Structures are given as C-alpha cells and as structure tokens.
Amino acid sequence: MPDPSAKGVIHDLGYRHYEGERLGRAQIVRALYVDSAKGAFGIGRSAKSKVMPMLVLGAICLPAVIVAVVASVTHLDRLPGGYTSYLVKTQALIMVFVAGQAPASVSRDLRFHVMSLYFSRPLQRVDYVAAKLAALATAVFVLCALPLTILFAGALLAKLPLSEQLPDFSRSVGGAVLLALVLAGIGLVIAAITPRRGLGVAAIITVLAVLAGVHGIVQGIATEQGNDSVAGYAGLLSPFSLVHGVQHSTLGADTVYPASPPGMLGAWVFAAVLVAVVGGAFGALLLRYRGVRI
Amino acid sequence: MALITTDRLTKRYGQVTALTDLTVEIETGVVGLIGANGAGKSTLIKLALGLLPVTSGSATVLGLDITTDGAAIRERVGYMPEHDCLPPDVSATELVVHMARMSGLPRTAARERAADTLRHVGLYEERYRPIGGYSTGMKQRVKLAQALVHDPELVLLDEPTNGLDPAGRDEMLGLIQRIGSDFGISVLVASHLLGELERVCDHVVVIDAGRLLRSSSTADITAASPLIAVEVTERADELAAALRAAGLGVVAAGAVLEIDLRDESTYDLVRDSIARLDVGLIRLERRRHRMAELFAVPAEAAGA
C-alpha cells in the first residue's frame, strides 16, 4: 500500500542496467555523420549557432528564387545566368559558410580535448575523420544544390523544355558534389591545424579568397598575353575554378571563365588534381588525428 | 573473473620507460591504482583501453587482449580522463546524449540513459545549462556520467578527485563506492592520494616509477595488527619512553603516538602511564594500519 506521507518524495529508483540494443561501429559512424551534417546548419545546436548558416543559406537561395519567379511569371525562353555559373557568382557565400562551419565541426573537439572521449569509444580515428569530412561535404552540397534546385523548379514552372534543362541541371549538381568535397577537405584541414575557432575562420576565408584572387590575376594576365595554355591551367589555382574546369571539360558544362582546361590532357590534369586534393585532404586529416593524444 | 591481468607489461616512450615488467592480476570490484605523479598510472589506463602500442609483455581487460581487441574492450569499458575534456558551449545533457550515441546506444535509449546517469551522479536542473559555467565539481560529475552512460562493465577513472574541495572529494568517493556496490560496475580508480582510496577500494595496486610495489586487498593491508593512537597535552616523549619501558611498541607520528595493541591490558597500561605523568589526554582511539605504510616498506627494504 502506498504511504500517503511519501507524497512528493522523489524516489531513487536505483541504478538500472542497460539491456537494450547496442549498435555497431558502422552505425556509430553514421550517427556522428548525421549529427555533424545537421550541426553545420545549427540543427540540434544552440539558437546562436543557427544564425550564420541559415543566413548564408537564405542569401544563396534568394537570387535563385527571384530568377525562378521572374522566369515563370514573364515566361522567359531561357534561364538568365544558367545553372553552372550560379555557384561561381555566389562563391563568396559558399566561402563564408565553409569558413564558419569547418572550425565549428572540428576545432572545438580538438581545443577542449574532447577527442579523448571519442577515442575511448569503439570509434576509430579514421571513422571520425571520414564522418566529419562526409558531413561537411554534405552540408556544403546542400547549400549549393538547394538554389540550383530552385532554379530548376523555376525553369519547369516557366515551361522551359525539360530535355534542355535536365542535362544542364544534372551537370551543375554533379559539379556541386565535387565542389563540396574539395571545399570540405580544404576547410577541415585548415580548421584541424588551427584549433582556435576564430583563427580557423579567418585562415579558411583568407586561403580561399587569396586562391581565387591569384587565379583571377594569373588567368587575366595570361589571357591578355595570349598564352592560352597558362590561362587554362591557371584554373588549378583555386578550388572553385578547379571544380569548374572539371565540370566543363569532363561533365560538359558551359564555362564562365575566360579560359578552360586545354584539351584532353587538360581535362585529365584537372580531374587528377581534384582527386589529389580530396584524397590529400583526407590523408592530411588522418595524419593530424593520428597525432592527437588522448 | 579477472578484470585486468598484465604479464610483464612494459611501455616505453622513446627513451622514457613508463611501465616496467608489470605483472598483476586484478579481480572485479573497486580497485585503487596508487602511485605518485608520473608513476605510470595514466599509461596503464591508456594501455588498458587499447589505445597505446605495448612495448613488450601482454595484458587482458575483461578477458580481451589489449593489443588485438581494443575496439571490443572500448565497447565494454568507460573512461574518465584526468584532464579537462568538456566543450564549454554545450549542456551536460547534450554532451552525455552524444557520447552515449558514440558508444552505440540508439537515440531514444541514449536520451533516457543520459538523464538517468546525470541524476545518479547528482546533476539535476543545471544539466540543461552550458558546461562552460559549471564548477569543477560539476564538471567532474559530467566526466563521470559520460563514462557510465553506456552501462559499461568496467570504468577507468583517472584522478577523479583532482581539483575538488574536501566536501566534493567526499561526494566523489561516495559515488565511486556506489558504482561498485549499487551499480555493480567494476572500477579502476587512479589516485596519488592513499587515504581516500583506502576508504572506497576492495583492492589496491601500488605502482612506483613504473614498477609494481604491491597488490593486495584493502582488508589485508588495513586489518593487520591494530594500533591505538594516543594524543596528550604535553610530554609525549616521556610517555613514549614509559610505554616502551613497559614493553610496548611505540611509534611517534607527529604529536600522536601509535601504540601496538596487544590485548585489553594495553589500554590499562596507557591510562595508568598517562595518570602517572599527570598530563591531559586529548585522544585515545583504535586505529588500523594506514596505507601510507605501504610506501614505507620499500624505503626500508631499499635501506636494508
């Protein structure tokens, strides 16, 4: 019989053992991947950490929405700007997103020694690196693919022919995948080297902006002087132009830069450099985390 | 079942030897790992987690080999690091839920277990606030909670009372005792403070400069040959001399005399001697041998 005097007393139920399901390593990695990818947009994190990624997401979609609305209302016969050039024109926003979210994803864990808590669990170092890289790449991809999808929807609403729109749209989405991998790789490597978050943000922005600037200058001068080969290969200098080059010469998208990878050789070189950048970033991260003592 | 066994376990970092030929067998229960700073306690714990390559020798944890089954060990073991390891911008709940998931608990189970575990370690409303604003005592509790959240068979606690005030220290020790007795989870707790482990451990392993000094049950160490401690207002040395003359073993430990307790007549002898000297008696108590004497043994042996 319950004792009426015991009302309102919090009973210590004692310790209960966990008899339920325990997931394996693959599912743990998946959980880290999903949480980190959501975390890049501030989902599951504090309200404060939602502000920046959501602002960037809104800003990058806004022009697409305007184009889509204008196209469908005025019944244009082609999309102004097109898909491929969209991400080149909005690259500053993508840089800001990567610079903000790469350090948020890894710097905190390194700076506050949270890695000891991860590595004393079944997760291996390579799992952590893979999950974080895939998560940031996914987030960057979503950031890039969302406005492209809005453009595509606008094109369909404007009754533009699907047979023309779909290949262009698909190529740009393929480009977004490559861009996401390259930027996530570069961003995470820099963020993992500089565990102070503010420093990481500044370093990533600087590196990406300087590379883009150098690419523009070198390509501009080479084009001016008529050196097509140098102008073409200058595209290797910046992540955006590198991906754009692969997108143009391998996926067959149109280009917005004055020069493109020269010929078959150029196509191979660009593709190889892209693979090397992504693979190199993964390798560098592994090396970095191998050095983390628990 | 043997919790941890090591066989001639040796670990060197370059030129520095952290553990030398350590052979020890530890049974389930609350086990204290005692040693000065740099004695090799943390190294032994990290080896037990399967996170460091062994230089030579071998060891098992819960019957699993530390060189080949590290991942399997880490599924069944919890670890509380010595150093700070908490991100300041998340709440205790968020962190512990996340760490439960990283140990393989499904999302719902992780939430339930995190809430339960935080309650067990004594964190209530404050668990929703960011960790950055916590006191050292609360942070230690969060570190303990994340080590327990997946209901391990063994928790490895590296200096859990570090930085705590006396009250916090007592609470932490009480918790450790409960983990062993009420939760039924074995504990290996490392500390450089002997006195505190004596209270909560079933068994102690003492290491010094990477070598095993002693491994025995707490009862064995503290039960042997009882003492009485006597403190008087003045002339303690004269009292000691008088008692020695009466054939008792007397050791002066500061102002306190520790006297071997032979039988009931020892009390009479002490009382009469004090009365004869006409000094005030401050304290007369029964005392067990202290673990501190463990360290005296090798010193004498070295001197002999």
Give the model confidence (pLDDT) of A11-55 as tens digits: 556 888 999 999 999 999 999 999 999 999 998 888 888 999 999
Which residue out of B47, B64, B89, B128 would a mutagenesis test of the A interface target, given it has the greatest number of A Cβ atoms within 10 Å? B89
Q: How confident is the model at residue A118 (pLDDT cuts 50, 70, 90)?
A: very high
- Reading phi first (left if > 0) and then psi (alpha if -120 to 50, else beta), residue B2 is in beta
Q: How far is CA A237 from CA A195, A218, A230, A265, A278, in A?
A: 26, 9, 11, 17, 15
pTM: 0.84
Q: What residues contact B19, with CB distance under 8 A and at least 6 apart?
A: B9, B10, B11, B40, B43, B44, B47, B207, B210
Contact between chains at A22 and B74 (C-beta distance less than 8 A)? no
For B213, phi and psi rounded to 5 degrees?
A: -95, -45
Token couple for B243:
């008692």
Nearest to B49 among A18, A25, A120 (CB): A120
User: Strands, DSSP E only, in B64-130?
Assistant: 64-65, 77-80
Residues of B in contact with A108 (CB under 8 A): 87, 89
Residues of B in contact with A28 (CB under 8 A): 101-104
* Alpha-carbon distance B119 to nearest alpha carbon in chain A (angstroms): 9
Residues of A in contact with B99 (CB under 8 A): 117, 121
Contact between chains at A122 and B74 (C-beta distance less than 8 A)? yes
Write down the residue that tokens 């975390």 correspond to: A39
pLDDT attached to residue A1: 46
* Alpha-carbon distance A130 to nearest alpha carbon in chain B (angstroms): 15
pLDDT attached to residue B154: 97
Are residues A42 and A53 in contact, defined by beta-carbon separation less than 8 angstroms? yes
pLDDT attached to residue A6: 45
Q: How far is CA A39 from CA A9, A32, A100, A217, B92, in A?
A: 39, 10, 12, 36, 17
Pure H helices in A123-161: 125-157
Q: What is the Cα–Cα distance from A135 to A140, expressed in whole angstroms?
A: 9
Token couple for A90:
């909005």
Is pLDDT larger for residue A75 or for residue A291? Answer: A291
Q: How confident is the model at residue A206 (pLDDT cuts 50, 70, 90)?
A: very high
The DSSP-derived string for A21-79 is ----HHHHHHHHHHHHHHHTTTTTS-HHHHHHHHHHHHHHHHHHHHHHHHHHHHT-SS-
Q: What is the Cα–Cα distance from A19 to A201, expressed in whole angstroms?
A: 44
Contact between chains at B71 and A18 (C-beta distance less than 8 A)? no
> Is A168 within 8 Å of chain B by CB?
no
* Alpha-carbon distance B81 to nearest alpha carbon in chain A (angstroms): 7
> Is A118 within 8 Å of chain B by CB?
yes
Is pLDDT larger for residue B231 or for residue A142? Answer: A142
Res A229 pLDDT > 90: no
* Alpha-carbon distance B7 to nearest alpha carbon in chain A (angstroms): 23
Are residues B43 and B18 in contact, defined by beta-carbon separation less than 8 angstroms? yes
A119-136 average pLDDT score: 96
Res A142 pLDDT > 80: yes
Residues of B in contact with A23 (CB under 8 A): 104-106
Average pLDDT taken over every residue of chain A: 90
Strand order in the sheet with B227-232: B250-253, B256-260, B227-232, B281-287
Quick one: what percent of chain A has pLDDT higher than 70? 96
Residues of B in contact with A114 (CB under 8 A): 85-87
* Alpha-carbon distance A237 to nearest alpha carbon in chain B (angstroms): 36
Q: What residues contact B91, with CB distance under 8 A and at least 6 apart?
A: B127, B128, B129, B130, B131
Token couple for A210:
């300087």
Res A85 pLDDT > 60: yes
pLDDT attached to residue B86: 96
* Crossing angle of helices A91-111 and A197-224, rounded to 10°: 150
pLDDT attached to residue B290: 58
pLDDT attached to residue A91: 93
Which residue out of A121, A125, A290, A294 would a mutagenesis test of the B interface target, given it has the greatest number of B Cβ atoms within 10 Å? A121
pLDDT attached to residue A254: 78
pLDDT attached to residue B145: 97
Q: What is the Cα–Cα distance from A15 to B123, expressed in whole angstroms?
A: 15
A172-176 average pLDDT score: 94
Is pLDDT larger for residue A56 or for residue B242? Answer: A56
Contact between chains at A117 and B183 (C-beta distance less than 8 A)? no
Q: Is A288 exposed, middle or buried (0-12, 13-18, 19+ CB in 10 A)?
A: middle
Angle at A217 between CA A216 and CA A220, to 5 degrees: 80
Q: Would the CA dihedral through A48, A52, A57, A58 be positive or negative? A: positive
The half-sphere exposure of B146 on its side-chain side, counting CA atoms within 13 A, is 31
Token couple for B136:
């050292």
**In DSSP terms, which residues pair with B208 in a beta bridge?**
B211
Res A188 pLDDT > 80: yes
pLDDT attached to residue A10: 53
Angle at A97 between CA A235 and CA B133, to 5 degrees: 145
Question: What residue ranges of chain B have pLDDT lower than 70?
Answer: 1, 221-225, 288-304
Contact between chains at B87 and A18 (C-beta distance less than 8 A)? no
